[in-house]
Each structure stands twice: as C-alpha cells, then as structure tokens.
Structure 1
Amino acid sequence: MLFLLPFFDICLIHRAALPPLSLWSCEQPCPERVTKPHRGLDKEDPNRHAKAKEKLIFKKPTTITQLTVLLQVSDLVQRYNREGITVWASADAATLKECHRTNDSMPYSFSMKRGVLLLLLFYSGLLPFVPLGESLLQFYLPSIINRTYIPKKKILRNRLVLFLIEKITMRKSLFEHLAARGIQVHLFVCNEEEDIKAAFDVGATGVMTDYPTLLSSYLHRNRCQD
C-alpha cells in the first residue's frame, strides 16, 4: 500500500498561510468526484481527459501499472511544487524502494523492514553511528489497539503481545534521538485527547487523527498553558 502524506509541522502553520479552499481543491484532485464523462463535453472543456487522469492516479491502480502511477504522482508533486512537504510512505520495503527510485528528491518514511532494523540498532547501541536516509517514522500508538482500533490479525489482539510491542517500540529516548537527527516521529490514530497526550508524552513530534478539530483544540490549549 502506498501513501502520499503532507510533511510539515502543524504548529508552524497559520490559517492565513493556507491556500483558498477553491485553489486547494484544484491542486488536490479528489478521486471521489471522478465520474464517467458525458459525450459532447469536449468542446466545453478540452482538458477534461487530463483532469480526469490526474484524479485517477490517486485511486488504487487497476489497468495501469504501479510504475506508471508512481511516475505520474511524482510529476504532479513536482508540478505543484510539493516535493518538500510530500513523502513517500509504505510499509512494504520493495514498494518504498521503487518510490524512492522514481523521485529521490522526495523525503520517505521507514518501511516495516527498516523499522525492525532501526530497533535492532537502537538496542544494540549502534544507532548513533549508522546513517539514516529516512525523514519520517510512523507507527500505531499501541494503547489504541483493541480499544479504538481493532486489528484483523489475531496475534495483535493478544494482551501479552501488545504489552511487548509497547515496551519495545515506545521508547522516548529513541524518539528524541530521531528528532535530534531531523527525523519526524508520527503516531496514529489518536482520536481521543488521552491518546494525543500519550503520543506527545512519549516523544512523538506529530500525531495523526480522524478529528483535526480535536487535535487543534488540544494544541491550542497546551500552547496557551506553556
């Protein structure tokens, strides 16, 4: 699975700096609005096919190959000058390698394989001496599993397994080390205030949520308290 994610510090963004809604809608194609074109519209909109193609690339590829999709995504990111704030992100190492090969100027996240290697380097004490090309680490906040997120894999429903995962991965010293090296750490999906607080307390530089207003309110309150 391939994700394209915005890459910036939300605390540094002001409402006035955001583009108008109409402009944002034009620059961020919405696949849900892609409909079968009606005949006789070519004269009204000669760019109809190009616009539909731009929207199509954000849908799961079917008849077109993955490589073609990656090339087109890269072209759009470059065209709209989004290379600095858009990252390649995938749990699959092979997919992520292909993404990086397509456009190596875009930052990219840790794959699952590289994430495991990261933990091995951390616990062996070798991490400070090993260069890292990734710019982003993303991971589930373990405490939400089986509470607000029910995994499909049965092994993740085991309390002992979850306890070990949390103890091994949620290391504040690890996250602080990554942040010091300029690597952002994002935990998800934090849909309750206690989860947002837990993510920041453990050293996350950012969180993902389905409720941006909740996150915005939390950040505003805590910024005022500080």
Structure 2
Amino acid sequence: MNQILDQFLNFQVMGAAFPTLMAGLLTTAEICVVVILLGLAGGLGVALGSLHSSRWVRWPSIVLVDFFRAIPPLVLLIFVYSGLPFAGIRLSPFAAVVIAFLLNNSAYYGEVYRAGILSIGKGQFEAARSTGLTRAQTMLYVVLPQAVRNVLPDLLSNTVEVVKLTSLASVVSLGELLYAADMARSVTYNASPVVMAAAVYLVILWPLVRLVSRFERRLSL
C-alpha cells in the first residue's frame, strides 16, 4: 500500500512538478480560448452555409461537416502537423493543434447551431420579416438568440469536449498540461504528476459538467 501511495500520490514529487504543470495548464488554456472562440464563429458560418438556399453553398458545407466529423481528431492532427510538410507547409505545434481542432470542432459546433436554428418555427421568420427586417437582421436579432438558448447545453457540452481534446496536443510535443505531466513523470520516474494532471482536469471540467446538467434541467421544465 505504501508503495502504491508513493508511486501515485507522492506529494513531494507533485510539489516539485507543480510549476511545470501550471505552465502546461497555461498552454492548455491558450489552446482552449483560441479553438473555442474560432470554433464557435466557424461553426456558425458552417451552419448558415448548410442551411443556405443555394445548393452551391449548401452541399459543400454539408460535405465539409460530414468529412471533419468522420475523421478522428488525432488522425487530423497528425496529418496537419506531419503530412503538410511534404507539401511544403510547415506549422508550429501550436498552429497545427489550433487548425486541426478548429476544423474538427467547427463541424460539431455547426451541427449544434443548425439544430438550434431548425428548432425555430417558420412563423418566427415570417413574423420578423413582416416587420420590415431583412433576412440577415431576422437571423441575427430574432432567430439566433432563440436558437442558441435552445442548444446552449449542447454548446457547453461540446466545449467540455474541446478542453479534453487538448490532451491530444501532447502527440506533437506541444507543452500543454498532459505533456508537462508526462515530462515530469519521465524525470521523476513517478506517476504522481500524471495523477495531479488528472486532478486538474477534474477540477476544471466538473463544474462545467454540472453547469451543462443544470441548463438541461432548466430547458426541460
């Protein structure tokens, strides 16, 4: 028992690894901010494209959404980081992670937005247009606020997945939280830094998970 505690809950090792893990957490936060903000914007664009009246806009948007939802994020990341250099395009680990995760999450955010927009009855569009609003104004001021409210739990749930997805960035040696923990483990020959990283993920994500559940309950009333 003492050996297990020493290997997985060694507080001395955790204390020594703490600065390294906090630096990794900062990188994780930077990835999350960039990917989530760009993903929300890109997802909205994809959703509007997939609902466009012109098939030349609608079908390419649908194909792109299906394509990037079907490809595993890890495969996409490796392709962007290790495959594009063969075409003369070399990206930093951070840029590769952001691009790969952005493509993946824009597709998922787009499907959530699309479901929210489709949940708004046609009467809302017609009533807004009858007041003199343009199609763009109707979408911006009438439809989207209601659509986002309807799918807010799904948007938050997907955001939780983005945070968990950042752990894949360790594959391209980007110094995020898991990579930092694994480096500390390799130096100390002790698994306590990895356990500490898991605890950090739990502290960050558990409130978000509870928030999603709360919104789901409120919307079901």
Q: So what's the TM-score if we normalise by structure 2?
A: 0.23
More strand by share: 1
Q: So what's the TM-score if we normalise by structure 1?
A: 0.23
Greater CA radius of gyration, 1 or 2? 2
